Amino acid sequence: MATRSKSSQRWLKEHFSDPYVKKAQAEGLRSRAAYKLEELVARDRLLKPGMVVVDLGAAPGGWSQWVRQALGDGGRGDPGRVIALDILEMPALAGVEFLHGDFREDVVLSQLEAMLGGQPVDLVLSDMAPNKSGMDAVDQPRMMHLAELAMDFADNHLRPDGTFLIKLFQGTGFDQYVRELRRRYAKVAIRKPAASRKRSPEVYALAQGKLAQTKTA
């Protein structure tokens, strides 16, 4: 029987002692990532009843699950829509529409657009990240490619004054990407929520107030 490496044992110990993992399990949430979103959304009051939200890179569903619960079932009002997409399968969530596919493929983008049916999006969330190789020279370009695709989607489908929240890795291309966001949105902030592990290179760019016209460079 193969023995686990010290690094994998260390990761398991860290994971199961993580207070956010324990909290997610106790509250019936699919992942600790929900608490990253909760902090980011609560600080800026991003969610409102009846919103159309698209969650890119949604599996295992922590963000979509939290958004659906936060929006509620609408009661007598508009429950809004939560549309989730991921290259990985995701078990069904009540009130969440899921598209299984690779966002880098045009056919999948077309399917997502068909689901929207021309309906403008109020909030685009992207927690997409490539499978890590451990080599920055490989991982960072892959991450930035996904980020560019997410920005293009927001350019084309986010309503004026809408909001775009995306995970980024700090590294090559990061500063230029943030400059591009500032050309497109009234307000851009870089956040690292408490639930984001300190050793992780991830940060979140929150772009609010999509402009009707992109600013000139």
Q: Is the pLDDT at 20 greater than 60, yes or no?
A: no
Residues 140, 130: Cα–Cα separation, whole Å: 9
* pLDDT band for position 101 (cuts 50, 70, 90): very high
Question: Could you report the per-residue pLDDT of 64-97, keeping only the tens digit for each?
Answer: 999 998 998 777 778 999 999 999 999 999 999 9
**Mean pLDDT of all residues in 153-179:** 96
Amino acid letter at 182? R
Among the listed residues 126, 138, 212, the one whose alpha carbon sits nearest the alpha carbon of residue 177? 126
**pLDDT attached to residue 10:** 56
Instruction: Domains for the chain: give ranges and CATH numbers.
Output: 6-210 (3.40.50.150)
Q: How far is CA 61 from CA 77, 115, 199, in A?
A: 25, 18, 23
For 100, counting Cβ atoms within 10 Å of its Cβ (0-12 exposed, 13-18 middle, 19+ buried), the class is middle
Q: Is the pLDDT at 11 greater than 50, yes or no?
A: no
Question: Could you report the per-residue pLDDT of 102-144, keeping only the tens digit for each?
Answer: 999 999 999 999 999 999 999 999 999 988 777 777 889 999 9
Q: Is the pLDDT at 199 greater than 90, yes or no?
A: no
Active site residues: 167
* Residues tagged in the binding site annotation for S-adenosyl-L-methionine: 61, 63, 86, 102, 127
